[in-house]
Amino acid sequence: MNFDLGHQARRPPKSDYRIGAIGAGFIMRDVQLAAYKNAGYVVGAICGATVEAALAAAKERGVARVYRSYQELLADPSIEVADIAVPPHLQLAVVREAVAQRDHVKGILAQKPLAMNYAEARELVNLCAEAGVTLAVNQNMRYDQSIRALKTLLTRGDLGEPVLGTIEMRAIPHWQTWLRDYPGLTLHAMSIHHLDCFRFLFGDPECVYASVRTDPRTEFRHRDGICLYILEYASGLRASAWDDVWAGPAREGAASDLYIKWRVEGTDGVAQGTIGWPGYPNRQPSTIEFATRRSPGVWHRPEWRETWFPDAFEGTMGELLSALAENREPVISGRDNLNTMALVDACYRSLDQHRPVAIKEITG
């Protein structure tokens, strides 16, 4: 067997583009900036919701310059890449300002979800295209090491034709306060990772059926707490996920059993693994094990030291930097991400109308 599974993204051929970090919350301060420092990427400036938050992040991560607003940061002619980590309802306004500085801002890494819905995401993508600014979306679960290793197995044909793919999540996310005012919760903020990974692994489905209930622990009003959904593919493949953000009374006194597991069965093999994210901040690598007809009777269990948080975030920014250096569209481009946004919207339409929804109903 060839055990070079490409679990890490390749290094960009040019990595000294000057990055402007817009946002100084947890995901930027503790994850993205930590990953960039490890990778040797150059973060030239930062701003945040407050100057105090930006100053604290800059001090902790060694960023030399702090701006009071994203407008001031984007006006800095030395900034070549805007790394945007703001809530999705604010992202369009920030992107508008970034493309207005297209003389020096050449690339944007936008946080997921890209926007509040498919229509708004399409507007954002078109803005960047018209301005000639390269847009990538931080769909970072694609760069989890076990997901990338699985993709290699599928691409090489070690598993044959995919028959069934599943993700089972029993984990308790931290819901950001701004989500309280959103029309959707789990599908928009958490399931989008899994929906995008299914697209990354298998391509675009024909339709999706979703079923949800509220989460007993989440006190603010919401409809999609615990989410179950099935993706149907023209080939006959079915992909399904259980996104259980309740996971039992683990915070209310019972023993906990938190995990994310995935499994893919093909005509020539089977692979399964775990995602290490629920163990954060402890460094818990994701895992993979696989069996294939090419190696009869044997389970293979390669290991690595890298983790999703923060190491996978080298990959999303690295892909944007590679695209800029090579004058091409990123594989995580805004244009590609429109189909992920369409899939999320299709899930919500499925809830509202209690039926399978074809993705073409959203994209037209």
Please give the span between the terminal C-alpha atoms of the chain, in angstroms, as a whole number: 44
8-state DSSP, 311? I
- d(CA 223, CA 211) in angstroms, rounded, equals 10
Spatial contact of 285 and 306, defined as CB atoms under 8 Å apart: yes
Phi, psi values for residue 339, rounded to 5°: -70, -30
| CB-CB contact of 81 with 19 (8 Å) | yes
At residue 282 the predicted structure's pLDDT band, cuts being 50, 70 and 90, is very high
Mean pLDDT score of the chain? 97
- Residues 314-331: what's their mean pLDDT? 98
Residue 182: other Cβ atoms inside 10 A:
18
Q: Give residue 76's pLDDT.
A: 98
Residues forming beta bridges with residue 109, ordered by sequence position: 83, 136
What's the token pair of residue 80? Answer: 């070549």
| Phi, psi dihedrals of residue 92, rounded to the nearest 5° | -60, -45
Torsion of CA 149, 152, 154, 156, to 10 degrees: -140
Q: What is the mean pLDDT of residues 122-129?
A: 98
The Cα 23–Cα 86 span in angstroms is 6
What is the rounded CA–CA span in Å between residue 186 and residue 316? 22
pLDDT at 258: 96
- What token pair was written down for 85? 């980590």
d(Cα 202, Cα 196) in Å, to the nearest integer? 10
Q: Where in the chain is the domain with CATH 3.40.50.720?
A: 18-140
Tokens of 329: 């569209």
In the sheet where 81-84 sits, what is the strand order? 65-66, 42-47, 18-22, 81-84, 107-110, 134-137
Tens digit of pLDDT for each residue in 82-114? 999 999 999 999 999 999 999 999 999 999 999
Residues 5-16: tens digit of each pLDDT: 999 999 999 999
Whether the predicted model's global pTM rises above the 0.85 cut: yes
Amino acid at 166: T
Query: What are the residue ranges of helices labelled H in 115-191?
Result: 118-131, 145-156, 186
Q: Cα(318)–Cα(300) distance, rounded to whole angstroms?
A: 29
User: Which tokens hold the place of 21?
Assistant: 């970090």
Using CA atoms, how far residue 136 sits from 69, 112, 324, in Å, is: 22, 10, 11
- Parallel, antiparallel or unpaired: strands 107-110 and 134-137: parallel
> Does residue 324 contact residue 189 with C-beta atoms inside 8 Å?
no
pLDDT band at 134 (very low <50, low <70, confident <90, very high): very high
Q: What's residue 305's pLDDT?
A: 97
Residues facing 82 on adjacent strands: 20, 108
Question: Do residues 204 and 359 lie in contact, with contact meaning Cβ atoms separated by under 8 Å?
Answer: yes
Where does the pLDDT of residue 318 fall: very low under 50, low under 70, confident under 90, or very high at 90 and above? very high
| Confidence band for 355, pLDDT divided at 50, 70 and 90 | very high
Task: Kindly indicate whether the domain formed by 18-140 is annotated with CATH number 3.40.50.720.
Answer: yes
User: Residue 1: its pLDDT value, please?
Assistant: 82
CA atoms within 13 A on the CB side of 106: 18
Q: Which CATH architecture has domain 141-313+341-363?
A: 2-Layer Sandwich (3.30)
As annotated, the residues of the chain forming the CATH 3.30.360.10 domain(s) are 141-313+341-363
Write the pLDDT tens digit of every residue in 156-177. 999 999 999 999 999 999 999 9
Phi/psi of residue 108, nearest 5 degrees:
-135, 130
**Mean pLDDT score, 170-192:** 96
For residue range 213-262, what is the model confidence (pLDDT) as tens digits? Answer: 999 999 999 999 999 999 999 999 999 999 999 999 999 999 999 999 99
